[in-house]
Structure 1
């Protein structure tokens, strides 16, 4: 595990680095998850061999710090990841983001194009409104969610693998992140993704179809790749299918 203290956020961002000599890949997890739990098992697949990979824990999640004064919006998280890449002297990385991490990845690619050569997002949050997980969280006020809502939500989770990841998240970070996803920001991530001038791709699970965002991105010229036998947790539901789609996404042509 490696770490960097972010003075403006007043906390450490931490990541696990998988060594390699090929392209540098940076993975950003979804809401309530961690970099290693979501990506370690797929990024070590032989089809992705050779690359150096950073499995990042966004602030408030996994092993990264939980600064109370941090806003936990997508742009703020993107800026924090950019500081890590700047610290490591990295440019032109292959950026991969799932769900909330996909929204963060789009913000990073749009705000710091020097850092990102290719972008692949898996069922990202692209427009205001949130999703099945974030919307109920954001509907609660912050104090209530932190005090009792998070524990109730954790007890109600019906997937043991997700409960294990969620237990490592900070309730305050979960709530503020969910509110940010529901409220959205201008311009929305969907507009930014469609307008990027570098290779980018959208992954969607078979069980999530029909998916309005996937259809909209395809119509706007973003390559869309389906992961069979998978829902929103694509890399957990079907790791082999996710790797196949990811390899295709990383090979997509520039617009």
Structure 2
């Protein structure tokens, strides 16, 4: 359970143990570190750390463009502030998965293995910083009181476990609206990042007809591009939030990967 709160520069993070973390969680867009609590509760004995991304949860928001390289550097900053432990397994969802991929590609000294849950595929080209705006659905949620946000989540995703709804709803109210006053730069191709990642990679994805971003065909492209050990798992009856839509299967795949790539083996 996430309980021990810490601060590194503008970033807030939470961990389950005073000792060095073994597994680090990076959340998706508009979520927060606390959204990982239901998953972390199901991993007894695993020392974990979860980070609030800039502009999310209780983290601050530097006045600079929003880029995946910034999310990467934020995660590296927190991990560099932790005791040396031989590298961690980084688990990311969506925005957090792409940040995890950037981190694994550039900082192999920090990352022992990486789990990417339905990351964006990215796009080729030299991307520029561009203006963006708050999604209408987020503005509507932020305008609601917490009980009404929870009720909206339950209505939209009736298959989610009950313990997912409150942290999800709380996180939407924590998103800093000034995030959208800054410019945004989209990610480069996921396949190019995988070509630079030498540690083991687990790609978890759901059904594209339920909102998943990764198709089986693209997962195969990722497998062909990967420089190191790579395994893709399609979890049916799940969309973009695989860990919420089909938690039992997600936990089975995650636990098996963590057992196979136990960070304790590095010490």
Task: Name the SS for the 1:228 alignment partner.
Answer: coil
Gap runs ≥5 in structure 1? 7-11, 130-137
* Equivalent in 231, 241, 248 of residue 223 of structure 1: 231
Within 5 Å, give how 1:125-140 maps onto structure 2. Answer: 125-128=120-123
Residues 150 and 41 from structure 1, CA distance in 2 versus in 1: closer, same or farther, beyond 3 angstroms?
A: closer
1:199 and 2:194 are equivalent in the alignment = no
Residues 23 and 58 from structure 1, CA distance in 2 versus in 1: closer, same or farther, beyond 3 angstroms?
A: closer
Distance 2:41 2:18 in 1: 10
Aligned length: 228
Distance 1:57 1:152 in 2: 22
Distance 2:58 2:29 in 1: 14
Matched with 2:218 is: 213
TM-score, with structure 2 as normaliser: 0.73
Q: Deviations over 1:148-182 (max 9, x none)?
A: 895257569963545542221112335758x323x
Matched with 2:139 is: 151
Contact kept? 2:52, 2:59, Cα under 8 Å:
yes
* Equivalent in 12, 17, 32 of residue 30 of structure 2: 32
Gap runs ≥5 in structure 2? 155-164, 262-267
Residues 66 and 218 from structure 1, CA distance in 2 versus in 1: closer, same or farther, beyond 3 angstroms?
A: same
TM-score, with structure 1 as normaliser: 0.76
1:4 and 2:7 are equivalent in the alignment = yes
1:42 and 2:36 are equivalent in the alignment = no
Within 5 Å, give how 1:84-99 maps onto structure 2. Answer: 84-90=78-84, 91-99=86-94
Distance 2:18 2:235 in 1: 26
Alpha-carbon deviation of 1:213? 3.1
Q: What value does the CA root-mean-square deviation take over the aligned residues?
A: 3.2
Residues 88 and 22 from structure 1, CA distance in 2 versus in 1: closer, same or farther, beyond 3 angstroms?
A: closer
Distance 1:170 1:21 in 2: 31
Contact kept? 1:119, 1:199, Cα under 8 Å:
yes
Distance 1:71 1:214 in 2: 30
